[in-house]
Structure 1
Amino acid sequence: MSHDHHDERPELTPGQIAAALNPPPGRNGGDLVVETLQGLGATTVFGLPGQHALGMFDALRRSSLGYVGLRVENNAGFAADAYGRITGEVAPLLLSTGPGALTSLAALQEAAAASAPVLAISSQVPTAGLGGGRHGYLHELRDQQASFRDIVKSVHPVRTASQIPSAIAAAWESALTAPHGPVWIEIPQDVLTAETTLPVVTAMDATPRELHARPELIAVAAHLLSNAARPAIIAGGGVVRSDAAGKLRALAEKIGAPVVTTYGGKGAFPWEHPLSLRSWLEDRHTTDFLEDADVLLVVGSGLGELSSNYHTFAPRGRVVQIEADAGKLEANHPALGIHADARDALSDLLEAVTPRADPAAAERVAAVLDRVRDRIDAQGLALEQHLLAEIRSALPDTSPSFWDMTILAYWAWCAFDARHPNTMHSAQGSGGLGYGFPAAIGAAAADRTKPVLAVSGDGGAMYSIAELATARQYDLPVTWLIVDDGGYGILREYMTGAFGETTGTELSRPDFVALAESFGVPAVRTSPETLADDLAESFARPGPSVVVLPALLRMFEPTHL
């Protein structure tokens, strides 16, 4: 497919020609990096400096880019991931070589799983040390690119200064082509520090490739949905990433189809809508309902482990799957696979379907939700449901929340009302610990006008304590709720269930309130009764704050069979 680029290039003015012939002195390869990022529209970069990358960081001084420096590269990656999710724009991540670059790998795995457009730019040993052998340079790897190639969408090595603008533009285009994802560039130290007489990089062109649905497939899908007796929709993260929630709602209403959102698709469909089956994916009542659909439309989801109720879901009707990642088409279930961006394909479907009325659809949805509610209520887990309700009442509707891999987050995936699309995020894409707080920092850097919530357990919190210094340094409006149960709570449950006892799950931990205050971050120890008030007070206060909730929470029993 041809790129949607402009055929005509603007003529340079005499002033622009003069500027090109007389570039300002004192520029180096690092300047070409930041000039290219600015020319592509970047405003904020994340990262952590290192010896080989100093040319890039020095060039930041001569640019208008805002810099947010975190204390651990993996946390910088999580912050960039959240910035990319919240804004839909590329989030540049500046890294060093070897240990610094490798420390970001888990964050880049999450960005890949969640389709976040992170543009990682790493340094490399000097060009003299590249290729075969060991040259003894600090941070040297035999093949640094190989460590990233399995994780990111695309890898872009640079070996000379003149390659920098084109490599960054190609990576930018890759990051923003559906499905969004992380990309990786590496530039040797000497290329970053060598003086350059190349003209200043101004306007760059990196238009993402558009991914249109094949019209004959849309025609078949529209026919199936228009003539279905019991259509249903599963909406995944692709609906959120492509900003397609409005199209999804219009389509669901036009054909009277109930909608379940996956954990990655939280907020893609209004929670209180009469057609909303919400997000109870680990529930047999929901699975049975979806299996009974004669036509099931799956949008922006690969129906992976969590979205398929641990691969117990076995649809009996026709499946139509819209997915931007070609590798996920029919990966888990036979389907009419449509390789397309969710927003684009939903727009096409909306025009092509014939309206169908189903007065009983809302009643069937309500009946399923009643059965789910009764099942959960019978498990004696009022505390967990109370805590979610307290958080929901205190959190402003448009404020984003970021959830670590912790028991309360597992509850929130199913039971929390994300009242707007693109406001609830977690690390459920790849399931790594430590996401919540650094991700919230990235979201706050994207928009300082509203408070941001991070939720962690005490185990996950210890991954990112260092970032209290970052939140304080940049005075970011992040409230960090730490649920302290003295260990890795979800692993404690898993091990007890599987083996009857636990190993390695019980943790010594600090006084989180005193620790936060030592960073100059106000903190409070709360209780289930005072949580809503303490959170509201934190949200109303400028800058960062910590709320510690000592509580031993339990997971609801999922039903797979």
Structure 2
Amino acid sequence: MTHDHDLVLRPTEAQTAAALNPPPGRNGGDLVVETLQGLGATTVFGLPGQHALGMFDALRRSSLSYVGLRVENNAGFAADAYGRITGEAAPLLLSTGPGALTSLAALQEAAAASAPVLAISSQVPSPGIGGGRHGYLHELRDQKASFRDIVKSVHTVRTASQIPSAIAEAWESALTAPHGPVWIEIPQDVLLAQTSLPVVTAMDATPHELAPRPELTAVAAHLLSTASRPAIIAGGGVVRSDASGKLLALAEKLDAPVVTTFGGKGAFPWEHPLSLQSWLEDRHTTDFLEDADVLLVVGSGLGELSSNYYTFKPRGRVVQIEADLGKLESNHPALGIHADARLALSALLETAEDREDAQARERVSDVLAKVRARIASQDLPLEQRLLASIREALPAASPSFWDMTILAYWAWSAFDPRRPNTMHSAQGAGGLGYGFPAAIGAAVADRTRPVLAVSGDGGAMYSIAELATARQHNLPVTWLIVDDGGYGILREYMTDAFDEATGTELARPDFVALAESFGVPARRTTSETLTEDLAESLAQPGPSVLVLPALLRMFAPTHL
């Protein structure tokens, strides 16, 4: 009897001859890039450093396209966005110690947002690992310990022969649901040592499928089919698993209203009559969801932002589909289904029965009318006009990347993404500086459509250096900087809490002149001319900057 694992692929004569006569002049770095090529990678991000030079030297002997950013954290944000847009693992090449550590905030965001980033870092020479006594430049006592709490998995290499398998194992980990960043480290001497190993060819690193247990989906389908007031909360897991079409089909089959979380923006059509949109910081929405007798939560852990700051208390039965086991029932008791969102929604579509609810669309319309009335009562026309201008100017298929700024906080709730996987922000971990370098990564992934980045002046200062990257690679990224002279959202938070803000006011450059010094076209815009100016900037090839002087205010959320 023959089993699959007994089968061994026999090399052809040509493959054997090539394996016996590898080209000269290769080192451990070549094994890295050959493995990445074998896995299907086409592009790598990163920043060179002393211990990592073996990898970077090998790039010139490969077909990989290298996009070097100016700060490792920004390189991590670019890789994060590339992974989100393509669904592929995005290689991120880093050096030891300070170079590696500078990427931590970006990897935290990738972990929070389930973005598949393949971080490959150098290490000090093998004799110095784990000692902390040798005094090597960049040496850490235990470098991987700094990353273990953040990334999905850690992979350590000690010899050249371990490189292909370690990278393949990490690749598989990054792309198995839930997607996430992974960490590989390789000592400098291993990267530099000459190798006579055969050239790495095609690698098998197929992600594991996380399928739901059929007895659980059978119960869930019955609950949803027989519910009186079903509702759905769609999170980022729906977007990451490319399950938006399945979600739409199930919602229509069940006549179930759908709310998308801030991380799940675009998972459901914004203007659909069953769409409750994303007004999660609103008591009308919270009340509606609490009133559901069966609530399906897909691809969300119902954390702080998705639960209206933990004020959401569901009264009905909760069914939670979640690929991250640690998030399953972490905030609310539920029928927990540990599965990839696409596979679980497919199973529900096959087993759920059609239900009709003539009042569902009317109830959705009533809630949205109440939300609009509440926002209108706060007299904030400028902020709404700016979002409308951006939506009008931005092509429907173009992705947008939003930094942690007041206009982004508005966009979480009020912006129509038009398409799945086109609106992204740093709301997973909440660090500053995400918008522009992430937009660079998205533009690298697809140069055929313009990309928008939105930052405040405070967040913009984290990423100014990447104007050089955008110019060097002539990337179609338009950067809208809303200049209010400080950390606007923190100013508002502190003023509300303490009647006075401290540490929020910032001196800043002339952003137009600064951008132009990088060779990037720039201009000032106004709320009245933003639509026209933004459309013009997005239509021109290469990078551009728009600066909008404006003092914005956040709408008041309602928790009670």
TM-score category, normalised to shorter length: over 0.9
Which residue of structure 2 lines up, in the alignment, with residue 409 of structure 1? Answer: 408
Which residue of structure 1 lines up, in the alignment, with residue 96 of structure 2? Answer: 97
Superposition deviation, residue 9 in structure 1: 4.3
Please tell me the residue identity of whatever aligns with 2:532: D
Superposition deviation, residue 13 in structure 1: 1.4
Which residue of structure 1 lines up, in the alignment, with residue 245 of structure 2? Answer: 246
Please tell me the residue identity of whatever aligns with 1:105: L
- The correspondence of residues 213-292 of structure 1 with structure 2, limited to 5 A, is 213-292=212-291
Which residue of structure 2 lines up, in the alignment, with residue 175 of structure 1? Answer: 174
CA RMSD of aligned residues (A): 0.9
Cα distance in 2 for partners of 1:9, 1:273 equals 52
Please tell me the residue identity of whatever aligns with 1:165: P
Superposition deviation, residue 6 in structure 1: 8.0
Cα distance in 2 for partners of 1:466, 1:132 equals 35
SS of equivalent residue, structure 1 residue 479: strand
CA pair 335-450 structure 1, distance change in 2 beyond 3 A:
same
Which residue of structure 2 lines up, in the alignment, with residue 316 of structure 1? Answer: 315
- Alignment gaps of 5+ in structure 1: none
Q: Is the 8 A contact 2:401 2:423 kept in 1?
A: yes
Which residue of structure 1 lines up, in the alignment, with residue 536 of structure 2? Answer: 537
Cα distance in 2 for partners of 1:5, 1:373 equals 60
Please tell me the residue identity of whatever aligns with 1:110: E
- The correspondence of residues 121-270 of structure 1 with structure 2, limited to 5 A, is 121-270=120-269
Superposition deviation, residue 15 in structure 1: 1.1
SS of equivalent residue, structure 2 residue 372: helix
SS of equivalent residue, structure 1 residue 276: coil
Superposition deviation, residue 93 in structure 1: 0.1
Cα distance in 1 for partners of 2:354, 2:496 equals 48
Cα distance in 2 for partners of 1:113, 1:8 equals 40
Please tell me the residue identity of whatever aligns with 2:306: S
Which residue of structure 1 lines up, in the alignment, with residue 106 of structure 2? Answer: 107
SS of equivalent residue, structure 2 residue 219: helix
SS of equivalent residue, structure 1 residue 449: coil
The superposition leaves residues 384-410 of structure 1 with CA deviations (integer Å, 9 ceiling, x where unpaired) of: 000000000000000000000000000
Please tell me the residue identity of whatever aligns with 2:20: L
| 2:77 maps to 1:61 | no
CA pair 424-317 structure 1, distance change in 2 beyond 3 A:
same
Cα distance in 2 for partners of 1:396, 1:135 equals 55
Which residue of structure 2 lines up, in the alignment, with residue 436 of structure 1? Answer: 435
Cα distance in 2 for partners of 1:131, 1:99 equals 17
Q: Is the 8 A contact 1:451 1:478 kept in 2?
A: yes
Which residue of structure 1 lines up, in the alignment, with residue 301 of structure 2? Answer: 302
Cα distance in 2 for partners of 1:354, 1:99 equals 56
Cα distance in 2 for partners of 1:64, 1:9 equals 29
Please tell me the residue identity of whatever aligns with 1:198: L
Q: Is the 8 A contact 1:177 1:208 kept in 2?
A: yes
Please tell me the residue identity of whatever aligns with 1:551: A
- The correspondence of residues 410-425 of structure 1 with structure 2, limited to 5 A, is 410-425=409-424
Superposition deviation, residue 203 in structure 1: 0.8
Q: Is the 8 A contact 2:51 2:96 kept in 1?
A: yes
SS of equivalent residue, structure 2 residue 144: helix
Superposition deviation, residue 92 in structure 1: 0.1
Please tell me the residue identity of whatever aligns with 2:270: W
Q: Is the 8 A contact 1:33 1:165 kept in 2?
A: yes
Which residue of structure 2 lines up, in the alignment, with residue 392 of structure 1? Answer: 391
- The correspondence of residues 332-371 of structure 1 with structure 2, limited to 5 A, is 332-371=331-370
Divergent runs of 4+, >2 A:
4-11
Please tell me the residue identity of whatever aligns with 1:227: T
Which residue of structure 1 lines up, in the alignment, with residue 462 of structure 2? Answer: 463
Which residue of structure 2 lines up, in the alignment, with residue 330 of structure 1? Answer: 329
The superposition leaves residues 168-188 of structure 1 with CA deviations (integer Å, 9 ceiling, x where unpaired) of: 000000000000000000000
- Alignment gaps of 5+ in structure 2: none
Please tell me the residue identity of whatever aligns with 1:350: L
CA pair 279-68 structure 1, distance change in 2 beyond 3 A:
same
Superposition deviation, residue 442 in structure 1: 0.2
Please tell me the residue identity of whatever aligns with 2:360: A
Please tell me the residue identity of whatever aligns with 2:16: I
Cα distance in 2 for partners of 1:234, 1:398 equals 24
Q: Is the 8 A contact 2:132 2:140 kept in 1?
A: no
Superposition deviation, residue 284 in structure 1: 0.1
Q: Is the 8 A contact 2:447 2:476 kept in 1?
A: yes
SS of equivalent residue, structure 2 residue 233: strand
Cα distance in 2 for partners of 1:126, 1:145 equals 15
Superposition deviation, residue 8 in structure 1: 4.1
Which residue of structure 2 lines up, in the alignment, with residue 376 of structure 1? Answer: 375
Please tell me the residue identity of whatever aligns with 2:493: Y
Cα distance in 2 for partners of 1:489, 1:535 equals 22
TM-score, normalization by structure 2: 0.99
Cα distance in 2 for partners of 1:277, 1:7 equals 53
Cα distance in 2 for partners of 1:144, 1:409 equals 34
Q: Is the 8 A contact 1:5 1:207 kept in 2?
A: no
SS of equivalent residue, structure 2 residue 66: strand
Please tell me the residue identity of whatever aligns with 1:120: A
Please tell me the residue identity of whatever aligns with 1:61: R
SS of equivalent residue, structure 1 residue 138: coil
Please tell me the residue identity of whatever aligns with 2:352: V
The superposition leaves residues 88-129 of structure 1 with CA deviations (integer Å, 9 ceiling, x where unpaired) of: 000000000000000000000000000000000000000111
Which residue of structure 2 lines up, in the alignment, with residue 480 of structure 1? Answer: 479
Cα distance in 1 for partners of 2:135, 2:293 equals 63
Cα distance in 2 for partners of 1:337, 1:261 equals 19
Superposition deviation, residue 65 in structure 1: 0.2
Q: Is the 8 A contact 2:132 2:139 kept in 1?
A: no
Cα distance in 2 for partners of 1:9, 1:501 equals 71
Cα distance in 1 for partners of 2:493, 2:129 equals 46
Superposition deviation, residue 133 in structure 1: 3.7
Please tell me the residue identity of whatever aligns with 1:303: L
CA pair 5-276 structure 1, distance change in 2 beyond 3 A:
farther
Q: Is the 8 A contact 1:324 1:340 kept in 2?
A: yes
Cα distance in 1 for partners of 2:85, 2:21 equals 40
Superposition deviation, residue 5 in structure 1: 8.6
Instruction: Give the aligned length.
Output: 558
Cα distance in 1 for partners of 2:235, 2:6 equals 36
CA pair 417-318 structure 1, distance change in 2 beyond 3 A:
same
SS of equivalent residue, structure 1 residue 279: coil
Cα distance in 2 for partners of 1:497, 1:133 equals 47
Cα distance in 2 for partners of 1:531, 1:6 equals 61
Please tell me the residue identity of whatever aligns with 1:538: S
Superposition deviation, residue 7 in structure 1: 6.7
Cα distance in 1 for partners of 2:533, 2:288 equals 40
Superposition deviation, residue 374 in structure 1: 0.2
Cα distance in 2 for partners of 1:281, 1:373 equals 13
Cα distance in 1 for partners of 2:511, 2:429 equals 27
Superposition deviation, residue 367 in structure 1: 0.3
SS of equivalent residue, structure 1 residue 344: helix
Superposition deviation, residue 223 in structure 1: 0.6
Please tell me the residue identity of whatever aligns with 1:201: V
Cα distance in 2 for partners of 1:272, 1:432 equals 30
